[in-house]
Amino acid sequence: MNSKIDVYRFDERDSDEWDEFVDRSCNGTMFHTRRFLNYHPQYRFQDHSLYFQKKEKRHAIFPAASINEKNGDILHSHPGSTIGSLVTNTSSSLKESFDLVTALVKYAQDENFSGIKITLPPNCYSEPTSNYMEFALLKIGFTYLKREVSSVMLLPGTIEETMKGFKPSHRQAVRKAEKEGVQIRHSTNFETFYRILENNLSKRHGVSPTHSLKELELLQAIFPNKIILHGAFIKDKMIAGVVSFLLNKRIQLAFYISHDENFQEKRALNLLFYTIFKEAIQNGKKVFDFGIFTVDGEPNFGLARFKENFGANGIFRDTLELHLTQ
C-alpha cells in the first residue's frame, strides 16, 4: 500500500481552500484558519505553514512559522494561534498518524530546521477523540516541553442535566445573581469589558491581556458570529463578561473571563456561565473549554476549583519538541 506523503509550503493564493479544509476536518478550529492567522501583521511571524498530500489529495495541513532561536531556526506550530497540531481531513489511523509525523520530520530536516515544536489541542477537540498523533510524535522522538491543563466540560443535552454537575454553592450563586437583579445579554461593548479585564489582570497577575483592545475588536469584526461577548449588567452597568470563541461546530472556548471586583458579591460570573452553557447546548456545542488554569505548568488552585464547581475536569494541553541533527 502506497503511504507516500508529499509536503508543500502554503501559498497565500490557496487561503480559501485552506479554510474550507479546516471546516471539513475532524479536528480543525477557528485558530487554524487563514482568516484568523492573517489578522497578525505580516512582520510579526515568518509563516511556514504546510500542506500534506497523499495520492494527489489534500490529507492534512500544519499552520506553522519559522522561529529563530539560538541553535537555529525552529519549525513551530503557529505562535499566533492558541492551538496548533496537524489538522486532518478525517480521523487518522495509527499508521496514518505515524506517516504524517515522519513526513513532517523529513521535511524539517530537508529544510535545515534545527527542531520542531508543536502545541497540541486537548484530545477531546478531535472527533472522535484520539491520542494517535501524540503517540506517534512521542514514538518518533518528540519530548514534552511544556504541559498546561485546561478545564473542559462535556456538555449534555439539556441545561437541566448540566446544572446537576454544578456544586450546590454554584447553583445557589446562580439563584443569588438572579435575585440581585443581574441580567445577562450579548454585548458589543468590548471597550468596557476590556477595561474590567485589564484592571483585573494587572491587579492580580501584573500582566496584560493577550490581545490589545484594537486586536480583539478586529478579530470580532472578522468573526462576528464566532467571537461573542456575554455581559452581566446591573441596570446598564457592565459588571462582568465572558468572551467566547466558537471554535467549530462542537467546541466553545471561554477565551477571556473577568468581573468587576466591586460587584463580586452579586455572583455575576455564575449566572453568566449558566446562560452561556444554555445557549451553547441550544446551538449544538458538545465541548466547553474554560481555558487553562496553569501558567508555565504552575496551577492556580482557586481558578481550577471555580471551574470544577461547574463540573469541569482537567485535560492536558501539551507542547512537544524534537531536536534535529543536521
Return per-residue pLDDT of the chain as tens, 326 residues: 446 899 999 999 999 999 999 999 999 999 999 999 998 878 789 999 999 998 888 899 999 999 999 889 999 999 989 888 899 988 789 999 999 999 999 999 999 999 999 999 888 898 888 899 999 999 999 999 999 999 999 999 999 999 999 999 999 999 999 999 999 999 999 999 999 999 988 887 778 888 999 999 999 999 999 999 999 999 999 999 999 999 999 999 999 999 999 999 999 999 999 999 999 999 999 999 999 999 889 999 999 999 999 999 999 999 999 999 76
At 92 the pLDDT is: 84
* Domain assignment present for 21: yes
For residue 305, the 8-state DSSP code is H
Closest residue by Cα to residue 182 from 236, 229, 232, 240: 232
- The torsion defined by the Cα of 69, 74, 80 and 84, in degrees rounded to 10, comes to -140
* Confidence at residue 322, expressed as pLDDT on a 0 to 100 scale: 97
Residues whose CB falls within 8 Å of the CB of residue 73, separated by 6 or more in sequence, listed in order: 66, 67, 112, 113, 114
User: If 0-12 CB within 10 Å is exposed, 13-18 middle and 19+ buried, where does residue 316 land?
Assistant: middle
Query: What are the C-alpha distances in Å from 122 to residues 4, 82, 86, 314, 317?
Result: 28, 11, 13, 10, 5
Q: Which three cell numbers stand for residue 289?
A: 473549554
My answer on whether 189 and 70 are in the same domain is no
Instruction: Count structural domains, the chain.
Output: 2
Q: If DSSP codes are grouped into helix, strand and coil, which group holds residue 226? A: coil
- The pair phi, psi for residue 151, each rounded to 5°, is -90, 120
Q: Give yes or no: residues 119 and 175 share one domain.
A: no
Please check whether residues 137 and 168 belong to one and the same domain. Answer: no
Domain interval for residue 203:
156-285
Residue 240 backbone dihedrals phi, psi, to 5 degrees: -165, 165
Residue 258 lies in a domain: yes
Would you say residue 301 lies in a domain? no
Beta strand spans in the chain (E): 6-9, 46-47, 50-54, 57-62, 64-69, 72-77, 87-88, 115-119, 143-154, 182-187, 227-234, 237-246, 251-259, 287-292, 294-295, 298-299, 313-323
Does a structural domain hold residue 295?
no
Strands 287-292 and 251-259: parallel
Q: Is 141 helix (H, G, I), strand (E, B) or coil?
A: coil
Does 302 map to a domain?
no
State whether 175 and 124 are in the same domain: no
Q: Do 142 and 264 fall within a single domain?
A: no
Q: Are residues 76 and 114 in the same domain?
A: yes
- Whether residue 174 sits in one domain with residue 107: no
Backbone angles phi, psi at 197, to 5 degrees: -60, -50
CATH of the domain at 61: 3.40.630.30
**Pair (186, 249) in one structural domain:** yes
Q: Which residue has the cell 480521523?
A: 91
Look up residue 121 and give its amino acid: P
Q: Does residue 248 share a domain with residue 161?
A: yes
* CA 151, 157, 160, 161 torsion-angle sign: negative
d(C-alpha 21, C-alpha 50), whole Å: 13
Instruction: Supply the pLDDT for residue 326.
Output: 62
For residue 296, tell me if it sits in a domain: no
- Whether residue 305 lies inside any domain: the answer is no
Phi, psi angle pair for 233, to nearest 5°: -125, 140
Do 120 and 12 share a domain, yes or no?
yes
